Structure 1
Amino acid sequence: MATIEFWYEFASTYSFLAAEEVEAAAQQAGVGVLWRPFLLGPIFAGQGYATSPFNLFPLKGRNMWRDLARRAAQLGHPAIVRPDPFPANGLLAARVATALADADRPAFSRAVFRAEFVAGDDISDRAVIGRLAAGLGHDAEALLARAGADEVKAALRTATARAEQIGIYGAPSFVTADGELFWGSDRLADALAWAKGERWGLPA
């Protein structure tokens, strides 16, 4: 089966949208999805950004929040909450997602995004993350302890370094098995088509 890697950052608004759509779209296309949490902050810092471009460029930011509201409403989330501060601190959530088995990562990640952008919860709060994990049937304390282990921290740093190495500069991003990079939730369909061999006349 063809696969794509779904690279996402918990502070990313459009990663939220992609997390809502990717599984159903991939299943319909007959493509597998590998969920890859990473940290966008270090990559932004390497680009000279101290915060999100949506904060640095107010016009872009205002339009993004309106666009997010429109698209989220289409997905059944008519009331979107803006985290304060934005971007939210997604480090703990990313460590927990990294600590989870591949099969458990999608449900947890969707729960975190919904808690952040729909319920307005603080995803940097251990109690919030623990509650989400417990709600999915995990031993919250054991999972949080595992997420704090050195090997999990190192794995997240390695994932972030790999994201930068393969050219990722924003989230969400989709990467096909042959290394083709697609940036943005609105490029999901293109990524799935490419994974299945569609090239639109471009060379392989």
Structure 2
Amino acid sequence: MLDFWIEFASTYSYLAAMRAEAVAERAGVRLRWRPFLLGPIFVAQGWTTSPFNLYPAKGRYMWRDMERLCARRGLALRRPDPFPQNSLLAARLAWAVPEARRAVFCRAVFHAEFAEGRDISNAEVLAGVLAGTALPPADLLAQARTDEVKAKLRQETEAARAAGVFGAPAFTASDGELFWGDDRFEQALDWARDRG
């Protein structure tokens, strides 16, 4: 098994999420989707926003890289405004959604944000995402606001930090080995498969 740490505001998490299940299935590795928040981890590093905003050259490169990679993979790309998006409600919803449907929901959120440029902090947008994936919007939005789900997201964010995660996407194998970035996905899968 491989833990798949994603942050909905992360461009490269979008790339990884849209291919994750097919690639993992071919590798014979089960993925565990673990949405978390990068914001608290960035704050602990002294950052107030994405490093792609803090360092303009890095940001320009990232957006051009995303254009190339999305074109190559046949994915639409539309820059969300603002960037990064506030992903709090989306992340809470991901933990309210039944685990068996989490991957479908996560991909739909990424599509709404990065393919359609929609605001994933907006509850109406997320209600539409839920409805589009045959999940009950009213029930899940209510559940996402419960103390239990809020605590779960805090726990997952702390678990990511404790595992050494500093960016997204990230992958951790059962032995704790950490891999960071969409471009390390195959290496992470090989590691997880080889160590059973």
Measure the CA separation in 2 of the matches of 1:137 and 1:16: 21
Question: TM-score, length-normalised on structure 2?
Answer: 0.98
Alpha-carbon offset, residue 138 of structure 1: 1.3
1:103-114 alignment, distance < 5 Å: 103-114=100-111
Alpha-carbon offset, residue 192 of structure 1: 0.4
Counterpart position of 1:64: 62
Measure the CA separation in 1 of the matches of 2:145 and 2:136: 14
Residue type of the alignment partner of 1:21: R
Counterpart position of 1:136: 133
Residues 146-170 of structure 1: CA distance to partner in whole angstroms, max 9, x if unpaired? 0100000000000000100110000
Counterpart position of 2:5: 7
Residues 67-105 of structure 1: CA distance to partner in whole angstroms, max 9, x if unpaired? 01111112212x411111110011110000011121110
Residue type of the alignment partner of 1:195: A
Residue type of the alignment partner of 2:182: S
Alpha-carbon offset, residue 4 of structure 1: 0.3
Counterpart position of 1:102: 99
Does residue 127 of the first structure (1) align with residue 124 of the second (2)?
Answer: yes
SS at match of 2:8: coil
Counterpart position of 2:47: 49
Residue type of the alignment partner of 2:68: R
Measure the CA separation in 2 of the matches of 1:57 and 1:135: 36
Counterpart position of 2:35: 37
Residues paired across the two proteins, number: 195
Measure the CA separation in 2 of the matches of 1:109 and 1:74: 22
Residue type of the alignment partner of 2:97: L
SS at match of 2:171: strand
Alpha-carbon offset, residue 107 of structure 1: 0.5
Does residue 146 of the first structure (1) align with residue 150 of the second (2)?
Answer: no
Counterpart position of 1:22: 20
SS at match of 1:6: strand
Aligned equivalent of 2:190, options 190, 193, 201: 193
Alpha-carbon offset, residue 21 of structure 1: 1.4
Counterpart position of 2:73: 75
Residues 13-64 of structure 1: CA distance to partner in whole angstroms, max 9, x if unpaired? 0000000111111000000000000000000000000000000111110010
Counterpart position of 1:201: none
Specify every segment of 5 or more residues in structure 1 that has no aligned partner in the other structure, as ranges.
199-204
RMSD: 0.9
Measure the CA separation in 1 of the matches of 2:136 and 2:168: 29
Measure the CA separation in 2 of the matches of 1:126 and 1:184: 29
Specify every segment of 5 or more residues in structure 2 that has no aligned partner in the other structure, as ranges.
none
Counterpart position of 1:178: 175
Measure the CA separation in 1 of the matches of 2:54 and 2:136: 40
Superposition misfits of 4+ residues, deviation over 2 angstroms: none
Measure the CA separation in 1 of the matches of 2:109 and 2:70: 15
Alpha-carbon offset, residue 137 of structure 1: 1.1
Does residue 84 of the first structure (1) align with residue 69 of the second (2)?
Answer: no
